[in-house]
Amino acid sequence: MGEGSGYAGIVYWRRSPWNGARCVPVLLSLLPGALRAQNREGRVVFQEDPRGVEGRLSRLGTLLVDVGGKRYALVGRGALVSPGPSAGQQAAVSALRPPSAAGGGAVDLLLNGGAAARMRAWHTLLGEAGARLR
């Protein structure tokens, strides 16, 4: 990542594996030296140097990241009952590049709107930024 460049996108923080209403949109941004997630109100959920982040991508496309001793389950698409992103989150995405989600499989695209491919793209970007990924 060059100076002044960055990536941003809306992903969903799965706060509960059973309650879809608790799967909430976060603005995930990767800037030089900072991985940041912000909620609908613009409050920072977490912020860390990517080199301090650990994580892995599950077989179903959930990006599990450990930041500051806490694990966050991030997915590329919310549940039917999940709230949508705020206008502020959407506006912030337009200021930076979205990660390229090319190479998603047909099943992911058809049944999941390409959500797993989006999370694979974030996994790749985090690895390139120095995160310790499995």
CATH, residue 80: 2.30.29
Q: Which domain holds residue 54?
A: 7-133
- Cβ burial of 119 (10 Å; 0-12, 13-18, 19+) is buried
Q: pTM (2 decimals)?
A: 0.86
**Ramachandran sector of residue 129 (left: φ over 0; alpha: ψ -120 to 50; beta: rest):** alpha
Q: Does residue 104 sit within a domain?
A: yes
Q: Where are the beta strands (DSSP E) in the chain?
A: 7-14, 23-31, 34-38, 44-48, 54-57, 63-67, 70-75, 132-133
d(CA 63, CA 58): 6
Q: Is residue 129 part of a domain?
A: yes
Question: Looking at residue 54, what is its pLDDT?
Answer: 97
- Is residue 47 assigned to a domain? yes
Distance CA 49, CA 68 (A): 10
31 beta partners: 34
Residue 120 falls within a domain, yes or no? yes
Q: What is the CA radius of gyration of the chain?
A: 14
Question: pLDDT, tens digit, for every residue of 56-79?
Answer: 999 888 999 999 999 999 999 998
pLDDT for the residue 17: 85
- Round to whole Å and give the CA distance between 5 and 79: 31
28 within domain boundaries = yes
pLDDT at residue 110, rounded to an integer: 45
Overall domain count for the chain: 1
Residues of the chain with pLDDT under 70: 1-4, 98, 100-114
Q: Is 29 within a domain? A: yes
57 SS3 class = strand
